[in-house]
Amino acid sequence: MFDTSLSWGDIVFLAQGAGMTLAVTAVSVIAGTILGIFCGVIRVQLGPYWSIPLTFVLDIFRSVPLLIQLVLANAFQSIAKLGWPPFTTSCVVLSLYTAAYCTEIVRGGIDAVPLTTRRAGRSLGLSWWQDMRFIVAPLATRVSLPSWIGLTLGVMKDSALVLWLGLIELLRASQILVTRLQEPLFILLICGAIYFLISFPIARLGGYLEKRWSPND
């Protein structure tokens, strides 16, 4: 007969860790997406040559492993005496990491809009802002949505690395319980189920929006 030492308090502890995971993910994805949209538009407007400095900076965040970025950022803020708590450091690094990938998603979405479509809009008297708002944004969003959903889910899983800064998110909470209760398989199974329950609605929402927009092609 199956027996476990896991108590209701331990379940609450895991739920609190899941809440921290959601908080870090939400802040990072929102901030990273806003910054990524801004940088993506700049890259398209400047062209491949003039955007080389921006591309180089973004390549750093895409190329250096996220764990190294977190450790270096935490060390830098300590040396600079910024006094950031681990949550702030984690969100800043993950936001920049998200923005680096989101920039390419946005750039690819904008480039996917046919140039003839944009020219037709401008010939009707639309300004640059109106062209971006009424023509480019709707079409680019449809193209970019699947990649953005994948990025969001990836950031949620990568947020487990913030445990190295001392944040007790879902994975760290499960490790603490494994050490105390010595039931690794059962606890990690629950941890995986919680990750699934968090991720599944996001993936289904993306699939729903993609399916709803497809008949309008």
* Residue 83, domain member (yes or no): yes
* Residue 183, domain member (yes or no): no
Mean pLDDT along residues 100-113: 92
Please state, in angstroms and rounded to a whole number, the distance separating the CA atoms of residues 215 and 211: 8
Domain that holds residue 46: 22-168
28: enclosing H helix or E strand: helix 8-50
Mean pLDDT along residues 82-91: 91
Q: What percent of the chain has pLDDT over 90?
A: 49
Burial 170-207 (b: 16+ CB within 10 A, else e): bbbbbbbbbeeeebeeebeebbeebbeebbeeeeeebe
- Report the number of distinct structural domains present in the chain: 1
In whole numbers, what is the pLDDT of the chain averaged over residues? 88
pLDDT of 80 reads 87
Q: What is the 3-state secondary structure (H, E, C) of 88-132?
A: HHHHHHHHHHHHHHHHHHHHHHHHCCCHHHHHHHHHCCCCHHHHH
For the stretch 9-49, pLDDT in tens is 888 999 999 999 999 999 999 999 999 999 999 998 887 77
* Residue 204, domain member (yes or no): no
Give the position of tokens 């995986």: 192
* Residue 133, domain member (yes or no): yes
* Single pTM value for the model: 0.90
The model's confidence at residue 215, banded by pLDDT at 50, 70 and 90, is: low
* Residue 5, domain member (yes or no): no
* Residue 203, domain member (yes or no): no
CATH code of 38's domain = 1.10.3720.10
